[in-house]
Amino acid sequence: MDIPLEPDVSDVPRLMARDALQQAGYRVVSTAYRDNVIAIQALVEGQVDIALLSLPAVLAAIQRGAGITIIMGGASHTRCLVTAPELRKCSDLHRRQVSVPNLVSSQTLALQRYLSNRCPGTSVEPVVISGTGNRLAALLARRTDGAILDLMTLLEVQHADGPAFNVLSEFGAEFPGLGGAAMVASRAFLESQPDAARDLVRECLLATRTIQDPDVLQARIVRHLGLAPERAGRAAAAYLERKVWDVNGGLSDGFMQRNIEFCVQMGVIKAGLTSGAVEDTRHLDTILAELGRQ
């Protein structure tokens, strides 16, 4: 299972599911890939079975024939576009540097769409910096003019001393219905280990539902991320307010088709890809029938 080297609050359900599977007797080996392309290659080659990956990269890989499929949705967009104090509107970013995690991800595409919608003609220079903490450091040091940060990092910025940085967009609110990432499995793993795949989906869904209680989420943030209770409480309130997690697994209500259409519009994939070609919901459907929808 792919677990980030620097997990954030959106990763808490996955960390809980990993612990539950280990307690049930599964041997769960955590790996970490900073690049979606490398993680997809690892899935194809059988080096990892499950990973949470950016949807555009996954859809492009499936269209090229990669033996992977989406089995659950991930968290909704928790990324934000934050700029230096003097840059108060998106047109102020023209010909400025904005740090991004990579050049092809849901958040980078959301940045491009935001600029084209809100301030047509504005061109920014993307600077690839891995890790939201590193992007924050570059912004605070004024080595970049803007940065794509996660919600947890944004909360820290808003509570820091000094000049106030500007939040030009929260992509989850800017583009409702678009996903940031999805739980992806190799097709070989699904065929060879169906019980393990089903148990993983069950534990992820149970974890997502359990943390809808803010006190539980706060405690889990403290446990898994090591944050102080006060910071964890702020984070829990912010993530739950934004409904980051879908308690029914995230693949209903036309979710996948919206993301396919978005990626076609942004030139990441060609038209013609369908939801049925990119997702395998048999285990999610089984668990939802067992637990009931909410």
Report all structural domains of the chain as residue ranges with CATH numbers, in order of start: 9-76+178-291 (3.40.190.10), 79-174 (3.40.190.10)
57 closest CA partner among 272, 274, 280, 269: 269
Rg (the chain; Cα; Å): 19
pLDDT for residue 33: 80
Token pair in block for residue 164: 């106030």
| Whether the model pTM is above 0.95 | no
Cα–Cα distance list, 217 to 206, 234, 239 (Å): 13, 11, 9
d(CA 223, CA 185): 27
Ranges in the chain, pLDDT < 50: none
pLDDT for residue 178: 83
pLDDT for residue 5: 64
pLDDT for residue 177: 82
pLDDT for residue 180: 79
